[in-house]
Amino acid sequence: QVQLVESGGGLVQAGGSLRLSCAASGRTLSSGTRGWFRQAPGKDREFVASIGWSIGFPNYAASVKGRFTISRDTAKNTVYLQMNSLKPEDTAVYFCAARSAGSDKFDYWGQGTQVTVSA
């Protein structure tokens, strides 16, 4: 099993920045993909960003491209999401997820961390 624990959420004013972290423990995933998703009240969970664990190639949703940056520290088994120029519409619970190599879905999920952006 893989355990994912997010941290770094909070309340910030529009235009501000936050950095989310997701630390993995348990069975080590030395390959595959890590991702960030978010779910706003009354809405479906949506993809935010992902990164290949081995090569580190990032992928972003159009709504966050240019404002958010996903990165990983393989030594710490941690993935980060740097969020800049935050907007009220970025308010959501942010979830970290991990997908094993060869899997077509994200197998492991964190408990989520709240991000609230005030106008």
Residue 26 pLDDT level (bands cut at 50, 70, 90): confident
Q: What's the average model confidence in pLDDT over 110-119?
A: 97
Q: What tokens does 93 get?
A: 């619970």
pLDDT of residue 4: 95
Segment 43-47 mean pLDDT: 97
Do 117 and 51 touch, CB atoms closer than 8 A? no
Express each pLDDT in 51-101 by its tens digit. 999 888 999 999 999 999 999 999 999 999 999 999 999 999 999 999 988
39's tokens: 């779910």
Q: Which pLDDT score, from 0 to 100, does residue 103 have?
A: 87
